[in-house]
Amino acid sequence: MSVFTDRKSIRKYDKNHQIPDDILNKILKEAFRAPTSMNMQPNRVVVVRSKAEKEKLKDVLYGNQIQLETSSAFIIIFSDLEKFDMAPKIFNMAYENGLMPKEVRDRQIENALIYKEKFTSDHLKRDAYIDGGLLAMQLMLVAKSYGYDTCPIGGFNHQTINDALDIDKKLLPILIVSIGKKDEEGFASLRLGLEDTVIYK
């Protein structure tokens, strides 16, 4: 079994299976090893598990109701548009763990303040989608390695999801990943060949 070639989107899960908290936390911790631009780690996830919280997503989704009803959790990836405010914490951690000299820490924190002023909203959003996408992919592969299946879900209302779950607007919604024990085989899907997708120079 290779998680890379065997992963496929699963949309129906065993309703009665709840992923144990410790396993879910392990999956999330490993997923968060995904790289981010300048290691600024803007990804935040909201894990929706209870029936009451799932109910709030019913009208936010475009279709995708089977995943909502049967999954163990909806992991909703957001990106913090004020990510540079975390620079002191991030670089101080590196310094305190002996990974960075003091001068480098101070320079990095100063640079982050400059970026905070300079980055346009478009630039921030572009990085947010890249960082969030990398987290989503790693999350799906890590989940598979723990015997769980997933479905990436972009079919939701990006304008209403924050209000529905009472999430601060500084968090930009990126993608939902449903996760659970599979109760279907899912569809096989093909990929275009390298002749259509790769340009060697």
Using CB under 6 A as the criterion, which residues of the chain lie in contact with ligand FMN when the complex forms?
8-9, 11, 64, 151-155, 175, 186, 189
Is residue 15 helix, strand or coil? coil
CB of 151 to ligand FMN, least distance (A): 5
Q: CA 173 to CA 80: how far, in whole Å?
A: 9
Q: CA 197 to CA 44: how far, in whole Å?
A: 32
Strands 149-153 and 73-80 come out as: unpaired
Q: Select 66 or 94, whichever has its Cβ closest to ligand FMN.
A: 66
CB of 158 to ligand FMN, least distance (A): 12
CB of 137 to ligand FMN, least distance (A): 9
CB of 154 to ligand FMN, least distance (A): 3
Q: Select 4 or 200, whichever has its Cβ closest to ligand FMN.
A: 4
Q: Which residue is nearest to ligand FMN (CB)?
A: 155
- Residue 150 has a CB neighbour count (10 Å cut-off) of 27
Torsion, Cα of 168, 169, 173, 179 (10° steps)? 10
Q: Select 8 or 125, whichever has its Cβ closest to ligand FMN.
A: 8
Strands 43-48 and 73-80 come out as: antiparallel
Q: Select 103 or 196, whichever has its Cβ closest to ligand FMN.
A: 196
